[in-house]
């Protein structure tokens, strides 16, 4: 029964697009509540609520130092998915860097 | 349940120039080459039309190739491309996603945005495989047996 409750929490935590965005962002490294709130345009109170849900599901851990609460992915969770994403992100970054260099050199060379 | 990634890059050229370099196989053979490993294998063929495929293979040797097959769903030169993406590794791992590429021109420069969607959440998938479904099947098994042999 305990396991089913854990599954329910994981699912309900992942069922929300904002919370998936938070996890995706944390896959790139730890972030403060205000750093997480900035791109979504969400209030700090609203964002804290989402982080609390993720924390209860064991997907995220938070630590308060001074006035800043730092959030990070809980170890062992979502690692595989994040690795896939990291590999593909690097792949696209390299491609777009190569494309930019190619286009800018070609145009620079011809006028 | 899935994740997506977004990569952005500002390129100092108009959208048509960027779009054409992105989709022209001869140009791809230049800009996709790994500058850190220029001797690596790189093959790319691009059939730029809806339903056409952009097939890329790369890797250190013939028997260790990564492959990516993109099938175009939307071709809107020079603004937008949408494609289904199948990626495989030399070890046989396969990943199906969708990729959308947009080219926004502003002041003679182009902001390129790549959004790749549909990365599975392995944690949830593994949870189902290892724990959740096992529990469900066990419970179901117990339920069925209970019906067959009422205590």
Alpha helices in chain B (DSSP H): 15-23, 25-31, 122-127, 133-148
B33 pLDDT band (50/70/90 cuts)?
confident
What band does B140 get if pLDDT is binned at 50, 70 and 90?
very low
Which residues in chain A touch residue B124, judged by CB atoms under 8 angstroms apart? Answer: 10-11, 14
Percent of chain B with pLDDT over 70: 77
For B58-111, the pLDDT digits (tens) are 988 898 898 999 999 999 999 999 999 998 888 777 888 899 999 999 999 999
Chain B residue with minimum CA distance to A9: B124
* Parent domain of B97: 2-120
Residue B95: per-residue pLDDT: 81
- Where residue B151 falls among pLDDT bands split at 50, 70, 90? very low
Q: What is the pLDDT of residue B40?
A: 86
What confidence score (pLDDT) does residue A27 get? 72
Overall size of chain B counted in residues = 151
Q: B30: which chain A residues are within 8 Å (Cβ-Cβ)?
A: 102
pLDDT of residue B113: 92
Predicted confidence (pLDDT) per residue in A13-71, tens digit: 777 778 878 887 887 778 999 999 887 788 889 999 999 999 988 888 999 988 899 99
| B88 and B131 assigned to the same domain | no
CA dihedral angle for residue B85, residue B89, residue B90, residue B92, rounded to 10 degrees: -90
Q: Does the beta carbon of B48 lie under 8 angstroms from any beta carbon of chain A?
A: no
Task: Name which of B2, B6, B11 to mutate to probe chain A: the one with the most chain A Cβ atoms within 10 A of its Cβ.
Answer: B11
Shared domain for B132 and B61, answered yes or no, is: no
| Every domain of chain A and the residues it spans | 1-74, 78-111
pTM metric for this prediction: 0.60
Instruction: Quote the Cα angle for A41-B107-B9, to 5°.
Output: 55
Judged against a pLDDT cut of 60, whether residue A78 lies above it is answered with: no
- Report how far residue B27's alpha carbon sits from residue B30's, in angstroms, rounded to the nearest whole number: 5
Q: Which residue of A has its CA nearest to B17?
A: A103
Same structural domain, B7 and B80: yes
pLDDT of residue B4: 78
For residue B57, the domain's CATH number is: 3.30.530.20
Verify that B150 and B82 share a domain, yes or no. no
Residue A73, CA distances (Å) to A26, A30, B31, B140 in order: 6, 7, 35, 34
**Are residues B22 and A99, on separate chains, in Cβ contact within 8 Å?**
yes
* Residue A81's pLDDT band (cuts 50, 70, 90): low
pLDDT at A77 over 60: no
- Interface size A-B, in CB pairs within 8 Å, comes to 100
Do the strands B94-106 and A68-73 form a parallel or antiparallel pair, or are they unpaired? unpaired
**The pLDDT value given to residue A15:** 74
Mapped to the 3 state alphabet, what secondary structure does chain A carry? CHHHHHHHHHHHHHCCHHHHHHHHHHCCCCEEHHHHHHHHCCCHHHHHHHHHHHHHCCCEEEEEECCEEEEEECCCCCHHHHHHHHHHHHHHHHHHHHHHHHHHHHHHHHC
Domain identity same for B136 and B67: no
Domain count, chain B: 2
Same domain, B33 and B74: yes
Architecture of the A1-74 domain: Orthogonal Bundle (1.10)
């Amino acid at each position: 029964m305990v396991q089913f409750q854990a599954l329910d929490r994981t699912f309900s935590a992942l069922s929300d697009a904002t919370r998936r965005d938070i996890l995706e962002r944390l896959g790139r490294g730890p972030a403060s509540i205000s750093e997480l709130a900035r791109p979504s345009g969400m209030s700090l109170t609203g964002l804290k609520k989402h982080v609390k849900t993720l924390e209860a599901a064991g997907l995220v851990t938070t630590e308060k130092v001074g006035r800043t609460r730092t959030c990070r992915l809980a170890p062992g969770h979502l690692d595989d998915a994040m690795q896939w994403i990291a590999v593909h992100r690097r792949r696209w970054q390299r491609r777009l860097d190569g494309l930019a260099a190619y286009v800018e050199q070609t145009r620079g060379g011809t006028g | 349940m899935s994740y997506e990634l977004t990569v952005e890059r500002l390129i100092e050229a108009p959208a048509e120039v960027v779009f054409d370099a992105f989709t022209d196989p001869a140009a791809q053979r230049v800009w996709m080459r790994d500058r850190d490993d220029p001797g690596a294998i790189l093959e790319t063929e691009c059939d730029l039309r809806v339903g056409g495929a952009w097939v890329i293979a790369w890797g250190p040797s013939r028997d260790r190739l990564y492959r990516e097959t993109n099938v175009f769903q939307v071709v809107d030169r020079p603004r937008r491309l949408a494609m289904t993406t199948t990626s495989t590794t030399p070890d046989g791992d396969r990943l199906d996603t969708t990729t959308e590429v947009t080219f926004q021109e502003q002041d003679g420069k182009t902001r390129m945005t790549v959004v790749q969607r549909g990365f599975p959440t392995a944690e949830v998938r593994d949870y189902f495989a290892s724990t959740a479904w096992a529990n469900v099947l066990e419970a179901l098994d117990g339920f069925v047996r209970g019906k067959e042999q009422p205590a």
